[in-house]
Amino acid sequence: MKISVVIPAYNEEKLLGACLESVKDAFGGPAGSGLPHEVIVCDNNSSDSTARIAAAAGARVVFEPVNQIGRARNAGAAAAAGEWLLFIDADSRLSVSTLEQLRAAIAGGACCGGGARVGLESAPPLPGRAAAWLWNLISRTFRLAAGSFIFCRADAFRDTGGFSRELYAAEELDLSRRLTRWGKEKKLSFVILPGPHMSSGRKLRLYSVTDFLVLLFFLAFRPGRTLRDPGRLKYLYDGRR
C-alpha cells in the first residue's frame, strides 16, 4: 500500500516548507512506519520560489501552466504511483494523529476515500471558530471533503475522472459526490475522519467581510457561472498570500 501525497501550490513560498516538513514528520513517526509514500508538489505557474522550496525538501515537482487548482491536483495525480492518493493544501499541516486515522481507514478495507475535519490556524478567533464549526457540520452531515484534505483510491480517482476542469472552486465537493457514488456501487463508504487537519486561516485575515458577502451573493444567484469564473474567486486566484 503506497500513498501518494499530492500538494498543489501557487505562490506558496511562505507556507510550503512547513507543510512539507509536517508530511516528513508524520510519515517518519509511528503512524508512517513501514508505509511507502511519495510527495508530489504541483507548481501551478508560480512566480516565486515555490518550485525551488519543494525540490529542496525532496518532493517531486511537476508543473501545471493553467492556474486552476483542480488542474494542479490532476497533474500531481497523473504523476503519482501510489494505490492511494492524498491531496492536501500547501498552507496546511499533516499531523501524526490524522495520518494514523487515514492508515486505519485504508487498512479497514471498507472505504474508497474520504476527508477529515478541519481546523484553522492564525485566523481571527471568532470568525475562524465559526467557519470551522459550520464547515465541519456540513462535511460530516453530507459526507463532503474539504480541499485541504481529501483522499481516495487511485483507481476510484481515475474511474471518476478526477477533479473537474470546469470548476475553479468547489471541485472537491464535486469529486466527493462522484467518489461516494463510485463507492456505493462497490459497497465502499466515503468517510470523514475525526482529524482535525489544520489549515491556515489566512483568507479570513486577507479578505474583508464585504469580499465574502459579494462572493456569497454570486454563489447564491449565479452558482454555476461563479464557480467557473476565476475572476469572481479572487480569494483563490489573485495571488494574495
Q: 45 lies in which domain range?
A: 3-201
Residue 32 domain-assigned?
A: yes
Predicted confidence band of residue 105 (pLDDT cuts 50, 70, 90): very high
Pairing of strands 37-43, 189-200: unpaired
Residues of the chain above pLDDT 90, percent? 79
Residue 17 domain-assigned?
A: yes
More confident residue, 169 or 241: 169
Residue 131 domain-assigned?
A: yes
pTM over 0.75: yes
Helix, coil or strand: residue 46: coil
- CA 137-143-146 angle, 5° bins: 75
Residue 224 domain-assigned?
A: no
User: What is residue 31's predicted lDDT score, i.e. its pLDDT?
Assistant: 85
Residue 71 domain-assigned?
A: yes
Distance in Å from the first CA to the final CA of the chain: 35
User: What is residue 6's predicted lDDT score, i.e. its pLDDT?
Assistant: 98
Q: Count of domains in the chain?
A: 1
Residue 217 domain-assigned?
A: no
Give the CATH number of the domain where residue 34 resides: 3.90.550.10
| Residue 144 · residue 134 · CB < 8 Å | no
Residue 40 domain-assigned?
A: yes
User: What is residue 207's predicted lDDT score, i.e. its pLDDT?
Assistant: 85
User: Tens of pLDDT along 166-221?
Assistant: 999 999 999 999 999 999 999 999 999 999 999 998 888 888 888 888 888 888 88
More confident residue, 62 or 218: 62
